[in-house]
Structures are given as C-alpha cells and as structure tokens.
Structure 1
C-alpha cells in the first residue's frame, strides 16, 4: 500500500464526513481552510477514489483534512508523547490581532488537566498555544488502563456545518452519535465509534466536537489505547463518557482560548488561509507551472441530483447521501445491496498523468480520457470488489464513478458483483449532462 493510499485510508477512517468511512472514528484530525481542501484533493485525486463526506470525523468537515502529526506521530509538539496522536491545527503564519490575548501552551495544558475526571493523571503531554495552533495531547490513566486523549482548537472555515454532523452509517459503522443545538448558536456532536470503520482492530475513538457561533471548533478525541494507532487496546472503552466529553468541550474556561485564536482573515502570507481554494496557490507551488484562472464556476449543489438521475432504471435506492463534489447511493436490483458513488471534480489537470498513466486509458473523439478498473475493495470487507470508471475531459474536468458488491465498503460482500455493469458505469461517467454543472 502506498503512502497516499495509507493517508487516504486513515483520513477516511478518521473524518466529510468525506471519506469512505467518515467519522471521527474515521480518524481524528483537525483542519482549516486551504490545508483541509488541499489534503482532500490529494487524497481523492491520487487514489482515484471518492472520499465522501461526512469526510471522516476525525474529522473534518467536507473541507476538512488532517494536519501534520494528526495521523500517527507527535502532532508537531515539543516532544514525543508516548505514541498518542491527536489532530492539531496547522501553525498559523501570521500574528494574532492586537485585540487578541495569546494563550500559552502551558496555560492550555493546565486548563485541560483541570477539566479531566478524578482520579486520573495525564502524562506524556504535548501542548501548543494559540499562536502555534492550539492543542493538548497526552496519555490519561485513571487506573483502568492508559488512554490517548487530546483536544484542539481551530477555525472551521466555509464548511463549518460538516464538523458537527454525524457520519452516515452507510459509510461508518459507529456505535452511537448525537447532535445537539446549544443556546447561543453553538452546535455539538458526540461520536462513539472506532479508529477503523471496518473494526479490523478493537481501538475505539470517541469524540466530542463543538462548533461555536464564531466558527471556532473545539475538538476532543479519546481512545481506549495509549496511542491512536499501533498500540494494544488497554481498556474496554475510552476514559470519558459522553457527559464528561460534553462538559469538557463546553467549558467556559475555553472562552479565552477561542477568543485568542487568530481569524484566518488576520493571517498574512498563507495561501488558502481564508479557507478559499482558488487553485492559484496550488499552481504556483508546482515548479515552473504558471498560475491559471478557472474558466468557469462549478455547481457542486447539482452533483447529487444529477448522479441520482443517471442511475439505471429498475434499481431500488435504499440509501443516498453526499455533499459537494461527492454523492453516493445504495441500490438493490433484487440481488442484494450495492454501494455506488461519484466524484465530479473540476480543474484536475495538474494530476492527470498520475490518474491516467500512459497505456491505462482509452480516448474518446472529444478528447475525454476513460480509465476502467476492476480491483479488490480496500476497506476491509470480505470478498468486496471495486469497479470504477474514471474520466477526464481536455479541460481537466474529472468524473469518476465506482460501484461495489456490498452496501458499505467495510461490510462483507452481499453479492458476487456490483449492481451496475462496467458499461453502465461508463455511461454515467461519460454523460454529457455533467457539463451542465459548469457555469
């Protein structure tokens, strides 16, 4: 498995709320603006799969993504913290505005320790203040087994609503998830799931994610092992119950921390800091590649209804969802459920050679490249097969459609083949109707 594939798997396994297994249990990560969008693009482009939306709680909203250190290592802290890995916001490149009073990592750590249930001790800690990307992580021990825990703070950006929306059960096999609107306009999600949606390991990930009325996310993650990944399970469940997690993320003591976090608009010199992915910064980052402007806007709201309209007749739709550039449906032709998904992605020319290596595709008269593949599933379900048709038009407009012989990729196969044939997938992916989304 390549590094990109591992990243995509962990992203899905952690958070959009866009990954083939969204949910905090889909991982645990935090993000903002350009970093979130950029990671999401790398994943979906290079793997060629759709990382959909409730893109993984570990989450992140549809535009969310893991930042450095969120998957596996020290989280960018001062020192190793016993293998515990939590999401940490990217370090801002600008300075907090003059009206903001910075909060140090030491102060954050003290506040977090003061909120933890008693008895219990937090060790192997890492902490960053509000000028570095505020977060605290460590290993909590209440005498019932060591557990990795962590909390982080960041601006949600334009896809804020996704952070506190429970993942779809068709994408993530979690045990429980609740959503709550709080007085004053804040929203709260409490998720009880697994580090891997297919449950191939017994590591659980429980999280509480608060989105306040200013657009700042407070994201608490806990595990039933001393590390997010790679450590044996040490206790039946993570150390904090839902009520305790709720109390921690809604604590009034965080108000000073939230107020001190620089708004993306205050950050200077950081491409995508405002949360807007224009494509210009991405092009400039490629050596020798001139910046280019998109020739059109893209109607993301139209992806799901168009996809549903293109499904073959005679199928019963038992579930559907998605958002933005991604949509899915679970369909049944009388022989069992089949998960089908699509990503419609403009401006993908910069990764065309990676997605369509020489000799792997055919070319239509209009110049559209078509790559058809049949391969094993990658999300842990037994005997799952993954059929896909990937297309790219000359202007870089990509439409990729996939189908599986299971109603959810982390579940075992329910039928020998997907409900849609390769010919039907090709008809959907190459339909001229996708051009209607360009405006």
Structure 2
C-alpha cells in the first residue's frame, strides 16, 4: 500500500525489484516467487498470484549484494528522481552516502559503481581481496513484514545462515545482523552479511557485504566479507545517515510502534491463526521443532517424529476458483459436496539433493483453497535427511479437508 499519495509503497517496490532478480526461484510457468511485499504464500499447483515463503529478510536475501540495491527498490522500476545512472566501475562519484560509508568503515580503497540520494554500491579492497558493499536507505512499509520483518532473524528452514542477532537499542531503534549466503541452496561459496537498522520513526538503513566483488555468480575473492558483524553494526547505526534519511520523501512509524493495525487484504487469512490451526491438527507423535509464516495465508512447521526433521507448510486462500480446471486436469477427485481434492508427489524445488514433496490440495466450489506439503527434510535447500516426509499422504489429505479451515473462508 502507498505510504502517501504520489509515493509507491515499500511493498510494491520490493516486489518489483525481486521479480527482476529472483533467478533460480521461478515456477514452471515462468512467474517469479515474490510480489506485493511478500504478503502471499507459495502456491504448489498453477499459481495465480506469486509469492515468497517467509518474510522480508528472505526478500532482501534474494536481492543480493550489488543487485537492485543500486536504485530499483526506491524507484519501483523507474529511475529515481535525482538519481545518478549507474556508471562503469570507478567512474561514479561517492556522493553523500559514499562519504558516510567510507567514514564508518576501516581504511581501504573504494571503487564506486553507483551512488545517489538513496543507495550506494561499491567494491572495497583492503588488501585481502575485493568485496562488494551496498547501502540503501528506505522508508519502512505499513506491514510487519516490510518493517519489523526486516530486522527479524529468518528461520534456517528457509534462509540458511551461520549466525543472526537482533537487538533493541536504547534509543528505540531495532537492529539485525545476519551472516548468510547469496544463494539459499549454497550452490556457491558466496557469503552475504547484512546489517539492518529500523529506526523508531520508520526508516531502514540496510548494509550488505560479500566475499565476492560483483553480483550473482561472481567469483569468490576472499574467505569472508571484509567487515565483522560489530563493524556492520557501527556502520548502520552511524549518526551520519540521519540527515540523509530526513531527506527521503516520507516517513511512517512501523505498525507495532504506531499502534496501527497492519492492513490486510480482504481475502487474506491471518498467518498466525493459520499456523496455530495447523499445529492443532498435526498427528500425534510429532514434535514441533520450529514454526513461522507470513502476515497472511502462509504458515509452516518443522516437525520430528524421531526419524529426522520434516518441513510442513500450508497456504489457506480465498477466491481461487480459477484453479479448478487445473486440479481436474491433474486427476483431482470431486467429493459429494463439490469439493475437489488432489494428492501429488513431486521433487523439491530449492536444490536440496533427494528432496521429495508430498502435497494435498482441496478446493471448494466457492473457491476456498487449502494446500499443504510435507518434505523429507527440515529445509528444502538442504539434502534429504529421511526417506519420506513425516506425514503420510493420507494424513495430508485429511489435513487439507479438515473442517477447521472453514473459519478462514470469506463468504
């Protein structure tokens, strides 16, 4: 949603940016996995809308160092007013953001790719190998995912990382420092470390660094990114950003601090309630290791039955009647009340070796859809850790058809 008239919202900017950079996350019909500020859940059969599987941290992980931070997020696909066009390496002036960046990092040589009023990207060299560094200044959106979601550590079930910390600072700001990787499936050794500061009045300072000089698939140039987590914290909390933040078009306090209720789309089932219902329906003998979800529609749990971890995820969606022909074509059974149900098996989609997904999907005649999947691993990007998912196909079918989901149906 727009923060004010004439200014595209953070969610729209983020979705547009990631759609242009999410290679490796495309579905069979060529659509990306992220849109609309991450307020939709992943669809396993013929998506009508596109989505991500966790909150905002995953979104920025997909963007990656040296990618759309150079301006796309702030321009929603158009050139930002007053922004400089990215020039060949070494020709772009440092500008105000570059000056603050250099002043709050250890001495080294800088080669700037891009710098404008809202973002800067550069290559830093301290004698140990060149490294890509970016900083972006943003106005937080009006949902939890586009505000506090950016400073909440992700679950390793979806975003692999070596370490993550958060801290509520004495001045009311909130900080997150994440030591992760460029690709969720770890297909390269490229590390991406990030620090994000959410100010109490709704600004975001987001700094990323890599152990490679360029964007996706660039060769690794050093063991780790150049700045330690403590140095990243010093960078994003530097007072020099404040005057630059004040020049952004608008400010808005995060919903949790302003007291406002985050806006929901009319047909969006509350993600927390979906997760609670899922946990209440799990068969006996399963221990929930971790759980989470999104603002709407999507939730997940990682369970263990004593034979290894198994990821279980669910979407609960209204107004999905246009999927009925696809379910019928896939062999769905029609029940006496007109409801369609389909159980399927397919390989995992995130690169984990040997990963299998068992999926059950139900769709009522009014277009209310429940789709639930279980995996033979605790994280899709990791190799299978067990022969089969922890839930049987029959159990998944029963879960998808449970009458408890009807409370989320929009009449």
TM norm structure 1: 0.71
Within the alignment, does 1:329 sit opposite 2:329 as a pair? no
Between the aligned partners of 1:91 and 1:48, the Cα distance in structure 2 is: 19
Pairing 1:182–2:169 present: yes
Aligned-residue offset at 1:405: 0.9
- Out of 96, 105, 110, which is 2:99 matched to? 110
**Which deviates more from structure 2 when the two are superposed, residues 217-226 or residues 411-420?**
411-420
For residue 125 of structure 2, the aligned residue among 123, 130, 141 is 141
The answer to whether the 8 A contact 1:46-1:355 is kept is no
Equivalents in 2 of 1:364, 1:223: separation in Å?
A: 53
Q: 1:228 to 1:73 in 2, by over 3 A?
A: closer
Residue of structure 2 equivalent to 1:125? 113
The one-character-per-residue Cα deviations of 1:117-168 (angstroms, maximum 9, x if unpaired) are 20x2222411232xxxx21112222221111111112222221221111112
The match for 2:54 is 53
Tell me, yes or no, if the aligned pair for 1:108 and 1:127 is still in contact at 8 Å. yes
When residues 48 and 256 of structure 1 are mapped into structure 2, their CA distance, relative to the original with a 3 A threshold, is: closer
Q: Find the counterpart in structure 2 of residue 426 from structure 1.
A: 397
1:31-50 to 2 correspondences below 5 Å: 35-37=36-38, 40=40, 46=47
What is the distance in 1 between the residues matched to 2:69 and 2:162?
Answer: 31
- SS in structure 2 opposite 1:225? coil
Q: What CA distance in whole angstroms lies between the structure 1 residues aligned with 2:202 and 2:43?
A: 25
Residues of 2 paired with 1:185 and 1:72: CA distance? 28
Partner of 1:213: 200
Distance 1:364 1:6, change over 3 A: farther
Contact 1:50 1:326 in 2 (8 A): no
SS at match of 1:218: strand
- Listed as ranges, the gaps of 5+ residues in structure 2 are 1-17, 27-32, 82-92, 253-260
Q: Which residue of 2 aligns with 1:342?
A: 314
For residues 337 and 192 of structure 1, the distance between their equivalents in structure 2, rounded to whole angstroms, comes to 23
- Are residues 1:377 and 2:356 paired? no
CA, structure 1 residues 167+297, in 2 after alignment: closer, same or farther (shift >3 Å)?
A: closer
For 1:285-300, list aligned pairs within 5 A.
Answer: 294=266, 298-300=269-271
Residue in structure 1 matched with residue 4 of structure 2 by the alignment: none
Secondary structure of 2:246 counterpart: helix
- Matching of residue 407 in structure 1 with residue 378 in structure 2: yes
- Separation in 1 of the partners of 2:405 and 2:313? 15
Q: Is 1:89 the counterpart of 2:74 in the alignment?
A: yes
* 1:154-169 map, 5 Å: 154-157=138-141, 158-159=143-144, 160-169=147-156
- Deviation, structure 1 residue 341: 1.3
Structure 1, unaligned stretches of length 5 or more?
12-18, 20-30, 61-65, 79-86, 97-103, 266-273, 279-293
Query: Using the alignment, how far apart are the partners of 1:188 and 1:212 within structure 2?
Result: 9
In the superposition, the TM-score normalised over structure 2's length comes to 0.76
Q: How far apart are residue 422 of structure 1 and its match?
A: 1.3
In 1, Cα distance between equivalents of 2:239 and 2:66:
30
Residue 401 (structure 1) shift: 0.6
**SS of structure 2 residue aligned to 1:153:** strand
In structure 2, do the counterparts of structure 1 residues 276 and 363 end up closer, same or farther at CA, with 3 Å as the change threshold?
same
How far off its partner does 1:419 sit?
Answer: 1.4
- Aligned residue number for residue 228 of structure 1: 215
Q: CA RMSD in A?
A: 3.8
